[in-house]
Structure 1
Amino acid sequence: MSSSNAPANGDAPVLVVGGSLTGLSTALFLAHHGVRCTLVERHPSTSVHPRAVGYYPRTAELLGQAGVEEAARRAAAGFESHRTRAGVTSLAGEVLFSREELAGGDDLADLTPSRLLLLPQDRLEPLLRARAKELGADLRFGTELLSFAEDPDGVTAVLGDGAGGTTAFRCDYLVACDGPRSAVREALKVPRHGRGVISRHISIAFGADLNEVLGERRYSVVHIRNPKVTGILVHDDTRTEGTLIVGYLPERGESLDDFTDGRCAELVSAAIGSPEVAVTIRSRFPWDMAEQVAETFVQGRVLLAGDAAHVVPPTGGYGANTGIADACNLAWKLASVVRGVAGAGLLETYDAERRPVAVYTAEQGSLQLAVRSGEATPEQREAAADALTVTMGQVYRSAAIVPEPGAEARPAARDPRELRGEPGARAPYVLLDPAAGSTLDLFGREFVLLTGTGTRADGWVAAAAEAGVTAHRLDGTGWATAYGVGSAGAVLVRPDGVVAWRSAGPLAGDPVEVLAGVLGQVLALPADQP
């Protein structure tokens, strides 16, 4: 099979448009898979606004695959004690409610070695940027996509340098990560479905010494409600910076113009509740709370990811996590197609897998909004899932998964502790011997086959060698139980750590033919291609 990493004719196989979390993650994962890519971002650098702050354990696992989790963990060390979500009249006022984020988080050791990461977006983005650049990604900040045109062999983009100069750029595929108002999606005329805009907000980044008013308390999220301000506040690990999120109502004549520095300072001061604390306004960031998902994530050679593909209500903090998961899912598929080891049909499975997840996650964000506002019906409360189920319990169904009998009748997302290595689900975490780490350490770059150490598993090892797949022989029955197979069974895991196929035990037939057939299906290869 071909292993070329050159575009059909042009500058790079993949052009990524947008340099925020999802765009940087896409470039990072593409570079991690050895694909040359160029990212363009119209702003001169990464975000100066904190924006997203929380990343669930599954997201941390994905960042770990590309070598970023440890750096992010070190950067987030100051937030380790920020685990309390509370409702208050003000930081200096009455506490209305208080609970721990990911309650029972210490009990996750059997599920994942990763933990919840609290790190403002303006601190995570530079880490993604540095690692992507280290791996060879071409990152062009201060560069804007002006237009693009697709043809049967690729995409021609026109890039602007911000000073009036333009450059034609040729690529095989274009990935749009250009946010909720995506110019790429609009140019493609891809409609979106869902509730639409629910409410309009502005995030006010401020400076203020909160040490005295907070005392020993450390909050992840604070819900503020008093006669002067209603909103959400988060503070950083130095307790000298924070963000206050408030809403406004255009139907009542309110607009962004109302949020002058003076007005913003008044709102922040009311949220703090101590007039002695001096407040400075650092920046403002307007945004819409919405539930919208694009009708398709794949249109020809152009693919949508992150907010360009879906806008998730921020209740629950799922938006950034969903975008990073998009990037991981898409990157290995693009890499396989670009290298010629997969058919172009593999890219269609990006839409088949990630769009249902986006719809489900957006709905869950809306359900969480109803629950937390106290407006949820009993049916809505019943339908609302916990964060681990939403972020770690998804089960894909697509042509890149070999299903088992009854798979269609099972829920699309379940408690991850109930999943036992079924195709389409995250491959379970199993601790191996100290030198080998865990099963999660085996995933991230290529397909791998897991099987046992007995002689009855020899056929699977031989089949893997024939197919060019790395086989890992795991001792004992612990891994087999976790993956729902016998000790002589086999499990094929994709580069993104998702189970593609499994066999409960040794086959009466030829394992070489079986595994070749499975890979052919998963990679969308023509029937006559080896």
Structure 2
Amino acid sequence: MIDVPVLIVGGGPVGLTASIYLSHFGVPSLLVERHPGTAVLPKARALNARTMEMYRQIGLERAIRGAGMPPRFGHMVMWAESLAGAEIKRLEPARGAASQALSVTGNCGCSQDMLEPVLRERAEAAGAGRVRFGTGLVDLQCHDAGVVARIRDSAGQEQDVSARYLIAADGAQSPIRRQLGIERDGERDVYDSVNIHCRVDLTRWVDDRPASLYLIEQPELRGTFMTINGTDRWGFLVTSLSHYGYTPEQFTPAFCTEVIRRAVGCDDLAVEVLGVGAWKASALVARHYRQGAVFLAGDAAHEMPPTGGFGLNTGVQDAQNLAWKLASVLKGEAGEALLDTYDAERRPVGQAVTHSSLLNALSMGRTARQQEAVLPRKEFLNEVGLIFGARYQSAAVVDDGSRLQVDDPVLQYVPSAAPGCRAPHVPLTRDGQTLSTLDLFGREFVLLTGPNGVPWQEAAGRLHPSIAGFVIGHHLRDEEGRFLRSYGLAPDGAVLVRPDGYVAWRSTGGAHDPSAALTRALDMALCREGQGSQA
């Protein structure tokens, strides 16, 4: 019998990220993945700035960018009749430019087959045996004290695993979700697609107009070239197969070659088909993300069309949100009710991005419902509000009564340090070196105060030595004078930021008894004042 605090089922980006973060917070876990290795098809490719903030905070940004496509391909999306034919439209996504101003990092194009090895290497570095590929879940029993699972490796050897908690990152078809009987709401099988992974040199058609996506619009073919390395390795996504009379079985290497040549507009183009995957896009969200000791994450919790590139990003952000909470409970620092806030915080996000992704697909005519449209709605690739603007409302957030005025929560983002919001990016300097407020987050609770906030920091040091404290104006210099304005603080105010970079509590000014105020805030943020019921 293997005894481990957390069992993770699924070794895609979400499961691997959960493993990495649990290790980052000092919690051992066991990850099992039934496939023998990481992804062989490009699948998802777009990592948004919020996701890259996460990976930057745990030291993975450089490795991921090194595995990604050349950055010059990330600034444009293009529509054309074929790569050699007439252009229809060019779009420079507003969210890319906005991210540069709103974050210390930016978007990254890194296909899933290149991303997963980076994540796997980091996850395995935490300890031998923590990540097991070629090992599947064959039985699961849930009880009040946790779960007992039976796993089987590729040699047919079986073992039992006892775990206090289980993260189900086992994909859109999630056998675990089905076993638990968790229903989903939304629209199923919105459209069908085939993803072709190929080696083909497209340099002469793309080198002078680099784009992350080249959308091909023909009367009998709707498809998208997805940039992987910008030269000779590409994905080609054929959408709405049934509408055009295609079936997945038709996509033999010879037929794939014919389709790609037609999309390029070159009849004698050399094409090597590396892999083909058929799938159907749905827009479905689980009715709850937690059931007892089991938590759904990633596609198991929310399945969405790829139009907008939110699936992977939403999933790995689920993993970060859940990991710090599991770690806090397992270490005895938080009440069990903290785990209920995972559903309260992440399910509304999953619902919002799934709905937006569906509307993107409908506007682009990628579904049987609406085939006449070609160009997308204005929100497509401009969803700055969805990327940065989520405001959590849960027991892990101490509401201060502040309200945000945003006319369009999809397009608009107003930086705010109101409780429940992502702590804003503000440039700072330390010993002559430039850094961001975001670089201070990611491991423990962080207390940021204005220049007159020393009493807050002294209280934190006496009561909670695990809190990292910074007086902006003493420890760190605010050369641009932005911190107090961005965080909504007076010079003697303070803000408490959670390990996931979201604000737990804020005092806009000083307090008569900083120790008592801070203790009360931390108790509330960690749900130490009473236990909540499980879903």
TM-score clears 0.5: yes
Aligned pair 1:389/2:378, yes or no?
A: no
Aligned pair 1:464/2:460, yes or no?
A: yes
Is the contact between residue 88 and residue 94 of structure 1 (CA under 8 Å) also seen in structure 2? yes
Q: Say if 1:148 and 1:225 are closer, same or farther in 2 by CA, change over 3 A.
A: same
Q: CA deviation at 1:236?
A: 2.5
Aligned pair 1:116/2:119, yes or no?
A: no
Q: Which amino acid aligns with 2:41?
A: H
Greater Cα offset, 355-364 or 212-221: 212-221
What is aligned with 1:135? Answer: 126
3-state SS of 1:232 partner: strand
Is the contact between residue 494 and residue 508 of structure 2 (CA under 8 Å) also seen in structure 1? yes
Inter-partner Cα distance in structure 2 for 1:10 and 1:276: 57
Inter-partner Cα distance in structure 2 for 1:411 and 1:10: 52
Q: CA deviation at 1:220?
A: 0.6
Q: Which amino acid aligns with 1:236?
A: I
Q: CA deviation at 1:37?
A: 0.8
Inter-partner Cα distance in structure 2 for 1:414 and 1:94: 32
Question: How big is each residue's C-alpha offset from its partner over 1:238-269, in whole Å with a ceiling of 9 and x where there is no partner?
Answer: 51121111135558975322222222221111
Greater Cα offset, 188-197 or 126-135: 126-135
Q: Which amino acid aligns with 2:487?
A: Y
Q: Say if 1:365 and 1:198 are closer, same or farther in 2 by CA, change over 3 A.
A: same
Aligned pair 1:403/2:399, yes or no?
A: yes
3-state SS of 1:307 partner: helix
What is aligned with 1:512? Answer: 515
Question: How big is each residue's C-alpha offset from its partner over 1:97-152, in whole Å with a ceiling of 9 and x where there is no partner?
Answer: 1122336x445443112111011111111111111222337110000011111112
3-state SS of 1:394 partner: coil
Question: How big is each residue's C-alpha offset from its partner over 1:329-355, in whole Å with a ceiling of 9 and x where there is no partner?
Answer: 111111111111111111110000000
What is aligned with 2:441? Answer: 443
What is aligned with 1:430? Answer: 426
| Counterpart pick for 1:523 among 502, 521, 526 | 526
Q: Say if 1:79 and 1:459 are closer, same or farther in 2 by CA, change over 3 A.
A: closer
Inter-partner Cα distance in structure 2 for 1:415 and 1:484: 23
Q: Say if 1:217 and 1:98 are closer, same or farther in 2 by CA, change over 3 A.
A: same
Question: How big is each residue's C-alpha offset from its partner over 1:158-194, in whole Å with a ceiling of 9 and x where there is no partner?
Answer: 0011232211011111101111000110111100001
- Quote the sequence identity (%): 37
Q: Which amino acid aligns with 1:196?
A: R
TM-score of the two chains, using structure 2 as the length reference: 0.90
Q: Which amino acid aligns with 2:464?
A: A
Is the contact between residue 74 and residue 212 of structure 2 (CA under 8 Å) also seen in structure 1? yes
What is aligned with 1:150? Answer: 142
| Counterpart pick for 2:203 among 195, 211, 226 | 211
Is the contact between residue 228 and residue 267 of structure 1 (CA under 8 Å) also seen in structure 2? no
Inter-partner Cα distance in structure 1 for 2:292 and 2:409: 29
Inter-partner Cα distance in structure 2 for 1:17 and 1:366: 27
Inter-partner Cα distance in structure 1 for 2:449 and 2:126: 31
What is aligned with 1:162? Answer: 154
Q: Say if 1:107 and 1:310 are closer, same or farther in 2 by CA, change over 3 A.
A: closer
Q: Which amino acid aligns with 1:459?
A: P
| Counterpart pick for 2:450 among 449, 452, 469 | 452
Q: Which amino acid aligns with 1:372?
A: M
Is the contact between residue 393 and residue 415 of structure 1 (CA under 8 Å) also seen in structure 2? no
Inter-partner Cα distance in structure 2 for 1:210 and 1:436: 40
Greater Cα offset, 311-320 or 129-138: 129-138
Q: CA deviation at 1:198?
A: 0.5
3-state SS of 2:341 partner: helix
Inter-partner Cα distance in structure 1 for 2:438 and 2:225: 35
Q: Describe how 1:346-385 pairs up with structure 2 within 5 A.
A: 346-373=338-365
Q: CA deviation at 1:452?
A: 2.1
Aligned pair 1:310/2:302, yes or no?
A: yes
Q: Say if 1:421 and 1:304 are closer, same or farther in 2 by CA, change over 3 A.
A: same
Q: 4+ runs of 1 displaced by more than 6 Å?
A: 374-377, 382-385, 408-412
Inter-partner Cα distance in structure 1 for 2:402 and 2:380: 24
3-state SS of 1:292 partner: strand
Aligned pair 1:503/2:507, yes or no?
A: yes
Corresponding residue pairs, total: 514
3-state SS of 1:80 partner: helix
Structure 1: unaligned runs, 5 residues or longer:
1-8
Q: Say if 1:72 and 1:335 are closer, same or farther in 2 by CA, change over 3 A.
A: same
Greater Cα offset, 92-101 or 437-446: 92-101
Q: CA deviation at 1:453?
A: 2.7
Q: Say if 1:385 and 1:91 are closer, same or farther in 2 by CA, change over 3 A.
A: closer
Greater Cα offset, 82-91 or 297-306: 82-91
3-state SS of 1:13 partner: strand
| Counterpart pick for 1:485 among 479, 484, 489 | 489
Is the contact between residue 79 and residue 236 of structure 1 (CA under 8 Å) also seen in structure 2? no
3-state SS of 2:121 partner: helix
Q: Which amino acid aligns with 1:444?
A: G
Q: Say if 1:423 and 1:202 are closer, same or farther in 2 by CA, change over 3 A.
A: same
Q: Which amino acid aligns with 1:18?
A: G
3-state SS of 1:361 partner: helix
Is the contact between residue 460 and residue 490 of structure 1 (CA under 8 Å) also seen in structure 2? yes
Q: CA deviation at 1:412?
A: 9.8
Inter-partner Cα distance in structure 2 for 1:240 and 1:408: 47
Inter-partner Cα distance in structure 1 for 2:396 and 2:509: 22
Q: Say if 1:117 and 1:306 are closer, same or farther in 2 by CA, change over 3 A.
A: same
Inter-partner Cα distance in structure 1 for 2:14 and 2:320: 10
What is the aligned-residue RMSD (CA, Å)? 2.5
Q: Which amino acid aligns with 1:458?
A: V
3-state SS of 1:491 partner: strand
Q: Say if 1:408 and 1:489 are closer, same or farther in 2 by CA, change over 3 A.
A: closer
Q: CA deviation at 1:77?
A: 5.7
3-state SS of 2:212 partner: strand
3-state SS of 2:73 partner: coil
What is aligned with 1:70? Answer: 62
Is the contact between residue 146 and residue 160 of structure 1 (CA under 8 Å) also seen in structure 2? yes
Is the contact between residue 402 and residue 522 of structure 1 (CA under 8 Å) also seen in structure 2? yes
Is the contact between residue 16 and residue 176 of structure 1 (CA under 8 Å) also seen in structure 2? yes
Aligned pair 1:28/2:20, yes or no?
A: yes
